[in-house]
Structures are given as C-alpha cells and as structure tokens.
Amino acid sequence: MRAIEASKMKRRGTAVLWVVAAAVLAACGAAPDAARQNEDLRRPNILLIVADDMGFSDAGAFGGEMATPNINGLAAEGVMFTEFHVAPNCGPTRGSLLTGVDYHRAGMGGNPEVAADNQKGVPAYQGFLRDDVVTLAELLQEAGYHTSMAGKWHLGHDARNLPGGRGFERSFALLNGAASHWADQAALIPGSKTRYTKDDQPVDELPVDFYSTTHHTNQVIESIDEFTADDRPFFSYLSYTAPHNPLHAPDEAIAKYRGRYDGGWDALAAERTARLRELGLLGESQKPHPRPEWVLAWDQLTTEQRAARSRDMEVYAGMIDYMDQSIGRVLQHLRDIYQYDNTVIVFMSDNGPSKTAILDYIALGGEAAEFFDQFDNSLENRGRPGSSTDIGPGWAYASATPLRLFKGYVAQGGIRVPLIVKPAGSLGQAQHVDTVVHVTDLMPTILELAGVQQPTQWNGVDVAPIQGQSLVELLDGDRDPEWMERDLGWEAYGMDAYRRGPWKVLRLPPPYGNGDWQLYNLDKDPGEVQDVAAQHPDLVQELAAGWTAYAESNEVIHPETPVAYARPVPKGKY
C-alpha cells in the first residue's frame, strides 16, 4: 500500500502543478515556450495498444495458455481491470475509445455495410466520426503532444476523418475493418478493396516483406524516435490488426503451438476454466458459459476437420504470441531511450473473439464462390500468404471462456475483454481491479493524466461531452469511487443490453437468446448461465426502461430487418 500511496501523492501533486501552470498560461493569453517546456518535462507519454478481436482469456494474465510475457509484465507493474467493457465490434469500440462518448453518439453505431434501410443516413449509424465529437488525439495535439497511430483505423475514409484529420501528426492506417496481414492486400470481404494510408496519403503497394504486426510496430517506434527530437511528450496509438481474421502469422510463431490444440475446443475451455479459478478470475461457485448447442462438439468433427481446425488455432495463437513479442519490442525501445518510466501504457482488446467464418462474409458482398477460389487453404498453407481462414465459433467459445458468446453480441463474451493500465512509474506490485469500467472511461483517464480538459466547442461546433469517468482514482488505489453507481447500455445489430450494479438484462434473438429480456446477476453468474428474469419481473421492467432511456439519449434505432450477427445460424453448420 505504501507504494500506491506514494505514487498517488506524487501524481496528485503533479496534477496540481499542471492546473496552476494552466491558470498562469491562461492569464498570459498565450503559452510561453519556456513554461510549456517545463510542463512537458512532467507530462507523461501515452502508449495506447489495442488488440483486434482478442478473447477475454487469451492472454496469460487472464488465464490463457499462449505465451504473452510482455502483456503479463504490464499487468504485473500496473492495474489489471478484470471487469472492462467495450462495444461488441471494432469500429464502435474505437469510436468510443477516441471520443469518450457512446458509440452511437460518436456516429459508430454499426457497420454501414450491414445497416438496415431504416438506419441508412442516420448519424448514429453513419460509420464515421460525427462532426460534433472531438478525439483524444485532437485534444492532446492541441495541448502540445506529439501524436501518432499505426494499424487499424476504421473510423472513416474522407479527409476529415482520416487519422491526420482527427489529430494524428503521423499515421500508417488500414482504413478497412480487416484485410490480409501480408503484402498482397487480399480482401477479407468479397468485393471490398483494401486501403492503406500513410500520413493520410494512399499507399498502393506495401513492402514485399510486409506483415501487419511487424510493420505497425515499426511505424510507431519510428514516430516515437522522431518525436524525441524535442522535449514534448507523445501519444501513440498502436492499433494492431491481430488476431482479427484472416488468420496469418509468421511460420516460427505458428510452429511454437504445433499440436497444442489437438485436444479441441471443449478441452481448451475446461483447461482455461481451471486456470481462471486458480488466478481468482472465476469463483468456485461461478459457472463458465457452456458451448452453445448450435456449435459442434470437437468429437463431432472428422479427422480432416480437426486437423484443419487445430492448425487455425495454432495460427491464432501465433498471431497473439507474435503481437506480444512486438509489444515487447516497443517496451524495450522505450527503456532504451529512457522513456519507459514516464509512459502510461494501456493494453486492451477492442471486442471479444470472432465466431465469424470466412464463408460468412459471403453475406457482406460480391461473387463469393469465385472470390474464395483464389485462396489456398490447404493444411500446409493455412496461416501463410494466400490463405484465408478463421477460428470459427468453436475456438471463439474457448477464447471467450468463461463468458457467453463472442464478438458482435452484447452478451459478456462480446463486450468484456482484457484491460491493463500501467501508470507512469510503477505501482511496484500487481493490482487487480474488479470495478465495472467502460471504454468511454479511457479518454477522460488519459486526459486527466495529461492535464488536459475537454472544451465545450471544437472547430466552432458544440461537442458531445465525455460520458465516461476518469479511472485515475482507481489507479491511485481508491476502490470505491462515487460514479460506480452508474448504469451502462448497449445496442448492436438490434440486440440490446443494460447493466445496473450486478444486474444485466439483454435481449438476443434465437438461437443466441430467447427473443425477450433475460436477466443475470453477474456478480454470481458472470457467464450468464442462469436466466432469472422470471423470478424478478419488476427488475426486468426497471432495467428495460433504463435501456429505453439510454437508447433515446444516444439516438439508437433498431434495424427493421435482422442484420449481420442477429441473423440465425443454420443448425449443424459449425
């Protein structure tokens, strides 16, 4: 506790200094360079690392079997948030992450590619950031930070909504939701074109030895080196595209896991459940969510199917392992240039693991059969250039253990993911925080650590005030902030959820739910196994009313026809 108290006092003291400095600067009318330089010596750098579609229990610190020593190391030096919540999809989570507001309010309520007719043209579902939000990068840049990003963007394609238009001084961005991780730029979705930009200019060709994770890591390291030419702090957003499908990884990374998953997804889920209990992340009386009945049991697969599926999980593990090694490369670089201790490092996943099979992308575009003919998905080639594979719902079930369902769903498996925050300096010992926190909390946290306030206007437009809460009190060791009493709401593809304290209602169509509100006490039942709606009809009504208010204030509109993840799956397919 002494270490926490000391760091708390240090940070609080520093925060006071910033406020005084800001007041002095405001009184002078302009920021004198000398004053800003003095301030910059104290302001922390920010490194925000986001994994794409990584499940709750994939990382070692969260119960996984994959080698993630660097992610585990951050958890050992910082705060591991075990009840972190996001939107169930990539773009929506990124919208909230960079604006501090609900994803509908940010314009990122869903993918425009799959919007229903009645959602088209509606600001909440436009699929790019609205004009009346301001990003974390814009505010930090305005406050004198250097800013860079590399990796997945997914927040718009027009000049205003490319990284440079949204506050990033340096960027290398994949504008799409996903694409091949290799130089070939093969599309994931039939009919879509892969688009990369560097500093907002189109990149037509990638280096022949391009691999996404390596390249994005290099880009961020280069930008940090460029920024150290002066004393200004930096904000770097390392937005990995791993382990999103198509599954691609370097051969050596895949080889480390050869044979590791031959026991299948049911065995893996059981193994992870046991480790989660050992780590204290799942109580003895808490049950993991069982494999959905529409997902095949491992022993129902043919020998050939098992061989292929084992390889897919080896590639997925290789992607995460290699991403962790790459994170290690950035951390070592920060140590080498004496910036590690003065850098706040955030690691998170943007949503739960993906159940989506490559063939399911047929529903999203073009001539599927011809499109898939271009890939070589032989056992030898899976994970290499020219292949296009996925983990499917079986492995996604194991990856989300002990939670229910996956990416795309407002069940806990879609919206509860890992978050680690290593403050500047070190807490000296690992801290687990089980306070329910939300992706909108990260922007106010980072702004507070940087001594920056959100203005009421940006570019002459009134901006949506941040809805999240700063987590600085929690980082400082306070476990009972007043705002803990708040409610949280979700909507995705017409599927809804609302949470108050331990109670959560959610409404999913069959076979994912029962089409009506289901109620769970997540303190007792984090896996959403026991629906207690029938025992508490009044509570269901109260929470449903809470959801309606959430939906109205965030401009939620349900699709008039089932879209994307809300569509039923044919039984026996998986």
Applying CB under 5 A, which part among 216-224, 344-352, 468-476, 523-531 lies near Ca ion? 344-352
Residue 389 tokens read as: 């594979």
- The Cα-based distances of 68 to 61, 209, 327, 471 in angstroms read 8, 24, 10, 25
Q: How far is the CB of 53 from Ca ion (least distance, A)?
A: 4
- Interface residue with Ca ion among 126, 176, 351, 435 (CB under 5 A) is 351
Phi-psi region for residue 17, left (φ > 0), alpha (ψ -120 to 50) or beta? alpha
Applying CB under 5 A, which part among 247-255, 333-341, 346-354, 476-484 lies near Ca ion? 346-354
**Active-site residue among 90, 181, 289, 438?**
90
Strand partners, 503: 500, 521
Residue 376 tokens read as: 């070589």
Q: How far is the CB of 96 from Ca ion (least distance, A)?
A: 13
- Interface residue with Ca ion among 58, 312, 324, 350 (CB under 5 A) is 350
Residue 320 tokens read as: 């995460």
Q: How far is the CB of 349 from Ca ion (least distance, A)?
A: 7
Q: Which is nearer to Ca ion, 54 or 344 (CB)?
A: 54
Applying CB under 5 A, which part among 56-64, 99-107, 228-236, 347-355 lies near Ca ion? 347-355
Q: Which is nearer to Ca ion, 90 or 133 (CB)?
A: 90
**Would you give the binding string for Ca ion spanning residues 223-262, x where CB under 5 A is met?**
----------------------------------------
Strand partners, 84: 417, 437
Q: How far is the CB of 350 from Ca ion (least distance, A)?
A: 4
Chain positions 358 to 417 lying near Ca ion, rule: CB under 5 A, are: none
Who's near 148: CB < 8 A, 6+ residues apart?
Answer: 168, 169, 170, 171, 219, 220, 223, 224, 227, 234, 235, 236, 237
Applying CB under 5 A, which part among 4-12, 104-112, 118-126, 348-356 lies near Ca ion? 348-356
Active site annotation includes 28: no
Number of residues written out for the chain: 574
Q: How far is the CB of 415 from Ca ion (least distance, A)?
A: 12
Determine the residue type at 555: E
Instruction: Please answer whether residues 61 and 72 qualify as being in contact, where contact means their C-beta atoms are separated by less than 8 angstroms.
Output: yes
Q: What is the Cβ-side half-sphere exposure of residue 489, based on CA atoms within 13 angstroms?
A: 24
Q: How far is the CB of 351 from Ca ion (least distance, A)?
A: 5
How many residues bind Ca ion (CB under 5 A)? The answer is 5
Q: Which is nearer to Ca ion, 389 or 435 (CB)?
A: 389
Who's near 42: CB < 8 A, 6+ residues apart?
Answer: 14, 17, 18
Q: How far is the CB of 371 from Ca ion (least distance, A)?
A: 22
Residue 117 tokens read as: 């007719």
Q: In this chain, which residue has its C-beta nearest to Ca ion? A: 90
Q: How far is the CB of 86 from Ca ion (least distance, A)?
A: 9
Q: Which is nearer to Ca ion, 45 or 356 (CB)?
A: 356
- Interface residue with Ca ion among 45, 46, 48, 53 (CB under 5 A) is 53
CA 437, 442, 447, 450 torsion: positive or negative? positive
CA-based nearest residue to 239, from 89, 50, 88, 46: 50
Residue 555 tokens read as: 């401009």
Give SS3 for 19. helix
Q: Which is nearer to Ca ion, 339 or 412 (CB)?
A: 412
Q: Which is nearer to Ca ion, 326 or 356 (CB)?
A: 356
Could you say whether residue 52 binds Ca ion (CB under 5 A)? yes
Provide the Cα torsion 529, 534, 537, 541; round to 10°.
Answer: 50
**Active-site residue among 104, 146, 154, 244?**
154
Q: Which is nearer to Ca ion, 53 or 491 (CB)?
A: 53
Find where tokens 């939670």 sit: 403
Find where tokens 């003895």 sit: 284
Q: Which is nearer to Ca ion, 90 or 410 (CB)?
A: 90
Chain positions 83 to 102 lying near Ca ion, rule: CB under 5 A, are: 90
Residue 246 preceded by cis peptide, ω within 30: yes
Q: What does the binding site for Ca ion look like in residue numbers (CB under 5 A)?
A: 52-53, 90, 350-351
Q: Which residues are catalytic?
A: 90, 154
